[in-house]
Structure 1
Amino acid sequence: MCAVHPIRCCNRTTPSFRARAPENLGASVSIGEELSKLARGQAVLPAQLYLAWLLAQRDDVVPIPGAGSTGRVAENLAAAARCLAPVDLARIDRIAPQGGIGDPRQLN
């Protein structure tokens, strides 16, 4: 439990934090580089590729992207309007499979 709030501390168990753990850093960097290459090939920013991928997952997935500037809002809108082809979705899933970094048992 958190010392300040009555919530379970999850900074060591959530996938995003496990990906940054020293033992997983090499794999995380490799995945980031591959996804960045894919984004460059499509002339989009990596964040736009990630957002388009998230939006393509399921109807009940609702990402909340950062909107700290008008430029960022424009980038997010362009990503939301982007439809990834099935081949691109499959490639992203191969590059960064669910449970691919850290202990996949902790994803539940």
Structure 2
Amino acid sequence: IYDGLWYELAFLYHAGKPRMMLNPMRRIIETFIIFTGIDEFYAKNQDIKRLLNVNSHGNVVFDVDTTSIGCDDLINMMKSLFKNNNYEAHFNKKWKHWKKHCNG
């Protein structure tokens, strides 16, 4: 399931669908947190946590604008989360593999 989420993220990235990338990003991170047991994964990035949770749990949020955020912006935000938790190598490995795999 975890690799499937990375595949979905890369597929949406290549399709140019940044708003659709938010859910697989959130699910990747949630799965990663469960696996690693990191309690404060978002400690330095509360704004990113809020962005990833926009409209994902049944609460409709109107004060977060996702229209100006591009695919590369989202990937860079996600990378910063992993980097801030000393897992940048994990992010780089997964992203490089799936980005290449989905690009042909």
Considering fraction of residues, name the structure with more helix. 2
Q: State the TM-score, normalizing by the size of structure 2.
A: 0.34
Greater C-alpha radius of gyration: 1
